[in-house]
């Protein structure tokens, strides 16, 4: 999944622009629906735990990606419910 590659590169570099985060999540949803977003969430949750165990300096960025992914899921669920 291309989104996972983008996220991994972002975490490795230690930076992520908010527009990149949103665009990555939108592209992932366009390619695979909300199931793809849930898959990203699972990967980030597992990856974040591993990074925190190793006290990796970019753990906060991984946490930010996870929070953004969860916020995206909540927002999309609310939009679908409102329609």
Give tens-digit pLDDT for 46-63.
999 999 999 999 999 999
pTM of the model: 0.93
- Say how far apart CA 10 and CA 50 lie, in whole Å: 16
Give tens-digit pLDDT for 3-25.
999 999 999 999 999 999 999 99
Torsion over CA: 79, 39, 46, 19 (sign):
negative
Q: How confident is the model at residue 83 (pLDDT cuts 50, 70, 90)?
A: low
**Domain coordinates in residue numbering, the chain:** 2-82
Residue among 2, 12, 74, 78 nearest 40 (CA): 2
pLDDT of residue 79: 86
- Say how far apart CA 43 and CA 8 lie, in whole Å: 10
């Amino acid at each position: 999944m291309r989104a996972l590659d983008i996220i991994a590169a972002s975490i490795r570099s230690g930076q992520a622009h908010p527009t990149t985060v949103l665009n990555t999540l939108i592209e992932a949803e366009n390619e695979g629906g909300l199931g793809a977003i849930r898959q990203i969430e699972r990967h980030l949750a597992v990856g974040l735990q591993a990074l925190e165990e190793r006290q990796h300096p970019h753990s906060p960025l991984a946490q930010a990606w996870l929070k953004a992914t969860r916020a995206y899921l909540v927002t999309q669920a609310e939009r679908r419910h409102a329609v």
